[in-house]
Every structure is written in C-alpha cells, then in structure tokens.
Structure 1
C-alpha cells in the first residue's frame, strides 16, 4: 500500500442503516465523494453481513471476518485491502486480534480506532470463554477450560505463565497471570505461587503456559520448573492437577504425558 493511501477512522456501530460520508474522509484506494457510500461498497458490506448472519463465521475466510470488524473503525472506505494486509502480516484472524498494540500500530492504515476495535473483539472472546469456566468445577468441564486457555494464550507472541486456583470441590476460584517473559522463556517463582494459593485458600492448582513457537513440546526447563512447583505444593498439601502447555493448534498435558 503506498504511503499516500491512508485510512481515516471513526468508530461506528457494526450494523448501520446508512453510513454517511464526511468531506475530510479519504478512501484507501480512491477518494469517495461526499454523500452516501458508493453502491459497490454498500452492496459488498451488505453481502458480507448477510452471509455472516446466515452462515456464521465458518462461512467466511479470515480476511472477510476481519472486514466486518474493520467496518466499525473505518466506516466510509473499502477495508478489504487493509484486512488482507493484516492477515498477511500476522498470519490469521486470531493472530491479528492477539497482536501487540505496538506492532499493530506499525501497519500502514492502522490507527487508534482500528486497534480499539480489534482489542474489543479479543477481550469479548476471552471474557466469553472465561465465563464458561470461572466458578465451575473444572475437572468436569475440561473441554471448556482448554477452549479458554487457547483463546487467551495460543496466539500470544511472548510466553505467559498462568495459575488456575481451585477450591476443595475443584471449582475455579481464580485465574491469574503469574509472569510474562520473552518469546521462549518466562520466569516462574514457586514461592509466589504457593503464597497466593494460601491467600486464596486454594486446595489445587492447574499450571498453564504458552509456547509462541506453536509447538507445545516441553523443554527441560519446563519439566524442571514443574517439578519445583510440585515439590513446593506437596509440602503445603496442595494438589497439582496438571500443567498445560498451549501451542497454536494443540496443547500438551503433563499429566497425560506422565510428566507429573
């Protein structure tokens, strides 16, 4: 995209009956004169919205789903080029939503309104997934827990270590980020995890961290760190149900692999 083809943003509702233009707006590919949206743009947006309502997200490729989000931030321009650019730059829809704000801001055509819309959608997805596991028995809703972990962590570009704290009935009472690290390392402190478990009167824990590489195979450091936490938990009478490593498309369970 050439430097002089800038997108100008203004947040609007996703579904609007009419999308008026303002004189200071510029199109990504060509200037749109004052008045209503050109028919080719309004018809395109209408078709995408109808296909989404009728067929759901499964009926749309990533870039079209992203277009629907961008409609809100850039209501008076053709956003298909920007949607395709974002998918090419980050890889897929989920990685666009999860991309750091600083990296998003470096993409030509992305400004505060686009970043805000992307992060609202990401936050909504996480909150919905989280609501399906919080204050519920985790061991009987394991699939929902895995969905939540993938939604929250699978597409992050740095490692994050989370601890899920459970009560005596294995109900999830807290989900907390214990540490953030780099692309291939995150510092973890067993003493801090145990201190927090005592504060919450937790009886069991589930450890979760992601591998930004996408491969959930544990490193020797992962195995050693898990052993230190398990030893500290045993002294305190706290159960470690599992340690999950979240990759891009699958997860690894230390319990299932015989590593815990």
Structure 2
C-alpha cells in the first residue's frame, strides 16, 4: 500500500503537520525526506530498509554516493536530498557558535564540534580562531584527508592566525572510525602546532579529537602544557 492510500492522518507527513516532528520515528522522518519509495515499498518501508542496511541514521548520512545509490529505489536525487538535510543540520548547529560568542562552556564547544565533524566519512582537520577574550572569530576547515604529521603544515596555521588576527587557537579533527582516542601522530601534530604558534606568541588552547560517542581533549589530559 502506498502512503497516499493510508488512512487520513496516518501518513508521516500528515502526522508531522498535525502532531509535530517529535512524534515521528526515525523511519517516518526519513520517509518525509525521501518522499516516495521503490517498487513494492512505500517510503516508510524504504526508510526502514535503509536504517537496517546502514545500521542507523549516522552511518546512512555519512555514506558515500556510491554506497547509497547501489541500493534499489535510490539514486542521485535521493542521495542529494539526504546530503542537503545533513548539511542544513550542520549549519543549524553552527549558528550556536557564532562570531563574537565567548567560549565559556566546554560542553558548548564539544556539541558544536560533534555536529560539525562526527558524521564525516573522511578526516577533517579544522581550527577555531579566538580573540583575546576567547570570543569566536571563525571556524575554518584547513584540509580533508588522512591526517598525519606530514600532512599538517604549521606555517599554514600560522598564516591563517596572522591573517585573522587571532589571539588564541583550538584545533580539532575527527576519527571516522568513531574511536576518539588520540594516536601518536595526533600528539606529534599537536606539539608541532603548539611550537609554531609559540613563535608568534599565540597559545594553542586545546586539540580535540571527535569520535562517535566521545570527544577527547588534550588540555584535559594535560598534554598541552
């Protein structure tokens, strides 16, 4: 049975309009995004299949175009719909940490970085630039790809800090594996960046590693010093 043939008020879109989005299940919310199903499946059935196939929303939204489009009922259009909704969620989260906001709460910083980085299927190395009062100047993604001591160039960070007139820095990156425990390469990168910033008298306040369930802080572990 297609969703349009469901009893009035039972379709996910109608439920959302009448009772609010919070009452919908993950599959029903996903069905609203997908709009229609596939041969032999309505949108809700297709959504349920996707959640089972990928193991949840996070894995689905971080999956590649190739991984998504290989499944029956999906193609570039539906992949684009999923990616657009994920990017909107990241941008909405980004509004919680606007230029001029003081970083008074570690939880605020963690929540922001989790929204920005936790669902990426690839590694992203980024920096939070702060002024002398630890107010946000800008969040900048420096590069994407495998992160090791050879791929992070301290001079690029120093140039960015000077260009934006930043007075303090927090660096961060994600682990697509979901495990936030820092590697030895992460520690070497941190030391190199800290030493480079010291030449222009700008402190590195922290290096945060983002995983699925945890964000590890170098400062909290006493590794910044």
TM-score by length of 1: 0.76
How does 1:39-54 map onto structure 2 within 5 Å?
Answer: 39=6, 43-45=10-12, 48-49=15-16, 53=20
SS in 2 for 1:245: strand
SS in 1 for 2:90: helix
**2-structure distance, mates of 1:210, 1:138:** 23
Q: Rate the CA distance shift 1:78–1:156 in 2: closer, same or farther, 3 A.
A: same
* Match 2:5 to one of 19, 22, 38: 38
Q: Rate the CA distance shift 1:141–1:132 in 2: closer, same or farther, 3 A.
A: farther
Q: CA deviation at 1:50?
A: 5.7
Residue 32 (structure 2) aligns with:
68
Q: CA deviation at 1:202?
A: 0.8
Would the aligned equivalents of 2:37 and 2:46 in 1 still touch at CA under 8 Å?
no
Count of aligned positions: 222
Residue 98 (structure 1) aligns with:
62
Residue 167 (structure 2) aligns with:
203
TM-score by length of 2: 0.86
Would the aligned equivalents of 1:216 and 1:251 in 2 still touch at CA under 8 Å?
yes
Would the aligned equivalents of 1:161 and 1:180 in 2 still touch at CA under 8 Å?
yes
**2-structure distance, mates of 1:39, 1:84:** 17
Backbone CA RMSD of aligned residues: 2.7
Query: Which protein is bigger by CA-based radius of gyration?
Result: 1
Q: Rate the CA distance shift 1:216–1:88 in 2: closer, same or farther, 3 A.
A: same
Q: Rate the CA distance shift 1:258–1:52 in 2: closer, same or farther, 3 A.
A: farther
Would the aligned equivalents of 1:154 and 1:212 in 2 still touch at CA under 8 Å?
yes
* Match 1:111 to one of 64, 75, 89: 75
**2-structure distance, mates of 1:88, 1:39:** 23
Residue 13 (structure 1) aligns with:
none
Q: CA deviation at 1:177?
A: 1.0
